[in-house]
């Protein structure tokens, strides 16, 4: 009985080894090499950027400083956020929650649940 198991194991091992060699055989398909166009030709050349030199003692009325520009940009963004928040609050106050069980309930809750508290 032990001999039959060893023979069966040897036959199984031989078939696995033989099967893997057949699968590893090289394919008969030829290797196709395609020459691609040069990627550098597709680039568009532009002029080098020109830096403007600003004199440090220039009048602030004529040319605002970087700090002033950033401050005004921050104020503009803050105003836009406040306007958007006020519009959202007004829309939430004017609307009623949709019926339970619909997909709109979750969207309404995400928009308006914090404003109602």
**Cβ neighbours around 92 below 10 Å, total:** 17
Res 117: pLDDT:
45
Question: What is the share, in percent, of the chain residues with pLDDT greater than 90?
Answer: 9
**CA-to-CA dists, residue 39 to 32, 48, 98, 117, angstroms:** 20, 21, 55, 58
In three-state form (DSSP H/G/I as H, E/B as E, the rest C), the secondary structure along 53-108 is CCCCCCCCCCCCCHHHHHHHHHHHHHHHHHHHHHHHHHHHHHCCCCCCCCHHHHHH
pLDDT level of residue 31 (50, 70, 90 thresholds)? confident
> In degrees, to the nearest 5, what angle opens at C-alpha 106 toward C-alphas 103 and 110?
150
Report if residue 92 sits inside a domain. yes
The domain containing residue 82 runs over which residues? 66-117
Is residue 109 in a domain?
yes
Look at residue 13 in the predicted model and tell me its pLDDT. 79
What is the value of pTM for the model shown?
0.38
- Residue at 36 is within a domain: no
| Residue 82 within any structural domain of the chain | yes
User: For the chain, how many residues are written?
Assistant: 117
In the block, tokens 């007004």 appear at: 90
Residues 60 and 71: beta-carbon distance below 8 Å: no
pLDDT tens, residue by residue, 61-109: 555 688 888 889 999 999 999 999 888 888 888 888 777 777 888 888 8
Number of domains the chain is built from: 1
């Amino acid at each position: 009985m032990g001999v039959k198991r060893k023979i069966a194991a040897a036959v199984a091992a031989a078939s696995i080894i033989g099967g893997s060699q057949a699968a590893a055989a090289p394919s008969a398909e030829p290797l196709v090499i395609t020459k691609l166009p040069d990627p550098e030709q597709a680039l568009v050349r532009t002029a080098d950027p020109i830096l403007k030199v600003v004199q440090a003692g220039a009048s602030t009325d004529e040319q605002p400083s970087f700090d002033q520009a950033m401050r005004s940009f921050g104020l503009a963004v803050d105003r836009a956020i406040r306007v958007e928040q006020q519009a959202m609050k007004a829309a939430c106050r004017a609307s009623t929650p949709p019926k339970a069980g619909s997909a709109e309930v979750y969207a309404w809750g995400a928009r308006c649940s914090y404003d109602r508290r």
